[in-house]
């Protein structure tokens, strides 16, 4: 039975990954900060799907939390989903620097270190996969550090995928648009200005992402709407991108 480790596994896209992979008979290692939510999610998954679920409470913005997850990954997993992430309320340069550094720790350092921890075991077995959850924001400029950190995730994932090509290991950046999750609420962001037709369901994002992973894609942009937005966005000057981004929301 294959094993998947998912960070940020108790809500949103991470929880959708857990449900989808459990339905595919994966054993799960769920990582999140809230131990009570982890235990509840594990109980529900075991009851519904009959799979083995391990919980690993850890804050990836701390050295202790990162080291704990690194240690578990060195024991071996077949799939790593680096999903943990968050947004900051406010815009650069008005967000406190400690909040910006925390974001970079979770979005960039954690992705780097957990990927490095998982790779040796995957190389030894000659198989494995890593999904790094980024965002469509990675392709557009904005007034926040969020898009810059997600651009790093995409670039890193593409570079890592090229490095392990031919080894039986796949690395992919998953870049969804606006998804109905707790993300905006937790960041105290007003999402009322986002048009209804831009919202995606977490389950659809996961389904599309895993399909693209199986196809060997290095970057996955779920949904035709966002594929078109990204394609058009590549032709639009950065200054205009930032203006549009401010108008429809982060």
pLDDT digits (tens, 9 = 90+) for 17-44: 999 999 999 999 999 999 999 999 999 9
Q: pLDDT value at position 188?
A: 46
| CA dihedral sign of residues 39, 172, 238, 193 | negative
Q: pLDDT value at position 13?
A: 97
CA distances to 41, 100, 179 from 15, in Å? 8, 25, 13
Q: pLDDT value at position 187?
A: 44
Check if the beta carbon of residue 46 is closer than 8 Å to that of residue 55: no
Q: What is the mean pLDDT of the chain?
A: 91
More confident residue, 150 or 236: 150
CA distances to 11, 145, 191, 202, 221 from 182, in Å? 7, 19, 11, 11, 20
CA distances to 2, 69, 156 from 111, in Å? 21, 11, 9
Check if the beta carbon of residue 22 is closer than 8 Å to that of residue 49: yes
From the candidate CATH numbers 3.40.50.300, 3.90.1150.10, 3.40.50.2300, 3.40.50.720, the one assigned to the domain spanning 3-248: 3.40.50.720
pLDDT confidence band for 63 (50 / 70 / 90): very high
pLDDT digits (tens, 9 = 90+) for 46-57: 999 999 999 999
For the chain, give the percent of residues with pLDDT over 90.
77
Q: Can you tell me the distance from the alpha carbon of 190 to that of 132, in angstroms, rounded to the nearest whole number?
A: 26
Task: Average the pLDDT over 127-135 and give the result.
Answer: 98
Q: pLDDT value at position 184?
A: 46
> Which of 6-15, 16-25, 140-149 has the weakest average pLDDT?
140-149
Q: Domain coordinates of the chain in residue numbers?
A: 3-248
**Token pair belonging to 171:** 């690395």
| CA nearest to 222, candidates 173, 181, 182 | 173
Look at residue 165 and tell me whether its pLDDT is greater than 90: yes
Task: Average the pLDDT over 145-159 and give the result.
Answer: 96
Look at residue 146 and tell me whether its pLDDT is greater than 50: yes
Q: pLDDT value at position 224?
A: 94
Look at residue 145 and tell me whether its pLDDT is greater than 80: yes
pLDDT digits (tens, 9 = 90+) for 166-222: 999 999 999 999 897 655 455 445 555 677 778 899 999 999 999 999 999 999 999
Q: pLDDT value at position 27?
A: 98
Residues noted as catalytic: 146
Q: pLDDT value at position 250?
A: 44
Q: pLDDT value at position 136?
A: 94
């Amino acid at each position: 039975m294959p094993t998947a480790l998912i960070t940020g596994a108790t809500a949103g896209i991470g929880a959708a990954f857990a449900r989808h992979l459990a339905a595919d008979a994966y054993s799960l290692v769920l990582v999140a900060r809230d131990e009570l939510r982890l235990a509840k999610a594990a109980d529900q998954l075991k009851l519904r799907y009959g799979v083995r679920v391990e919980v690993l409470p850890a804050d990836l913005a701390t050295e202790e939390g990162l080291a704990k997850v690194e240690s578990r990954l060195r024991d071996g997993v077949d799939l790593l989903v680096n999903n943990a992430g968050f947004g900051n309320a406010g815009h650069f340069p008005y967000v406190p620097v400690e909040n910006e550094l925390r974001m970079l720790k979770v979005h960039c350092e954690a992705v780097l270190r957990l990927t490095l921890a998982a790779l040796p075991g995957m190389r030894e077995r000659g198989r494995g996969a890593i999904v790094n959850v980024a965002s469509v924001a990675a392709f557009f400029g904005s007034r926040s550090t969020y898009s810059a950190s997600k651009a790093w995730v995409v670039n890193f994932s593409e570079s890592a995928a090229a490095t392990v090509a031919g080894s039986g290991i796949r690395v992919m950046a998953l870049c969804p648009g606006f998804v109905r999750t707790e993300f905006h609420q937790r960041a105290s962001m007003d999402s009322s200005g986002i048009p209804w037709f831009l919202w995606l369901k977490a389950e659809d994002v996961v389904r599309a992402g895993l399909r693209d992973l199986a196809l060997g894609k290095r970057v996955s942009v779920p949904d035709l709407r966002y594929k078109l937005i990204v394609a058009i966005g590549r032709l639009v000057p950065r200054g205009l991108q930032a203006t549009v981004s401010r108008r429809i929301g982060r």
